Structure 1
Amino acid sequence: MRHLTYAGMLAFCLLGTLPLDRWFHLGVLRRWRRLLLTLVLAAGPFLVWDLLATHAGHWRFDSAQTLPARVLGIPLEEVGFFVVIPLAAILTYEAVQTVLVRARDRRRL
């Protein structure tokens, strides 16, 4: 079961933040081109950094805590990390902004 640790953490993050788009009518997922561009710009440099650092031996990934699937030697979950965490951050930020705007608007009434 330990090999599911990283994937489980990513699933937990998604399950906690994906519903925010629908609950608060954020439209983040509807604007998929903007989201994709943001994720590529966020993930790209870090994936390159990860590749260089792991190949240089600066760090490694514990195969006991990751799935066997690899992308250029990097666990699939690590690639997913650079998609899931920025997505969770964007959804959380947009939800908080929506709540703050609604609260401000209610105070004005």
Structure 2
Amino acid sequence: MTEQWQYLLVMAACLLVTVPLEFLGARVYRNPARLARAVLPVAAVFLAWDAIAIAARVWTFNPRYVTGLRPVFGVPLEELVFFLVVPACALLVHGCVRALLRRSGQPSGGRLR
């Protein structure tokens, strides 16, 4: 396996580790519109931020660890995937913890909308 796939493999591993949480009550993937409303605006901001930093040569990526594909504003594919996967995984963890707390009768705080 070449090193250029490492970043994407880490993102895939993040998904694989957290997908089972959906079945424990996270209910993230069951509502894709809600997931998109939570993830896409923030991803857009960080995508723009990265694009500006890359264009200004403030931020770089080691070509050894990325595929070289830069589909949006010169931002590597791996970074774009990061902006989508990590928040989705965080929402899965949060949703699962809330579901488990609800089942145990523990207060789980306010509802996120």
TM over 0.5: yes
- Map 1:14-93 → 2, pairs under 5 A: 14-21=15-22, 23-71=23-71, 72-93=73-94
**8 A contact 2:26–2:93 mirrored in 1:** no
Q: Distance in 1 between matches of 2:29 and 2:84?
A: 13
User: CA RMSD of the aligned region, Å?
Assistant: 1.2
Structure 1 stretches of 4+ with a deviation exceeding 6 A read none
Match of 1:95 in 2: 96
Q: For residues 59-106 of structure 1, give each alpha carbon's deviation from its aligned partner in whole angstroms, at most 9, with x where no partner exists.
A: 10111101121122211010000000000000000001111111226x
Q: What is the one-letter code of the residue matched to 2:86?
A: I
The alignment-based identity, stated in percent, is 35
**8 A contact 1:42–1:86 mirrored in 2:** no
**8 A contact 2:4–2:65 mirrored in 1:** yes
Q: Distance in 1 between matches of 2:35 and 2:42?
A: 10
Q: Distance in 2 between matches of 1:45 and 1:4?
A: 25
Which structure has greater helix proportion?
1
Q: What is the one-letter code of the residue matched to 1:55?
A: A
Q: TM-score, normalised by structure 2?
A: 0.86
Q: Distance in 2 between matches of 1:61 and 1:26?
A: 33
Q: What is the one-letter code of the residue matched to 1:65?
A: Y
Q: Which runs of 5+ in 2 are unaligned?
A: 107-113
Q: What is the one-letter code of the residue matched to 1:79?
A: L
Q: Distance in 1 between matches of 2:85 and 2:53?
A: 21
Q: CA deviation at 1:28?
A: 1.4
Aligned pair count?
104
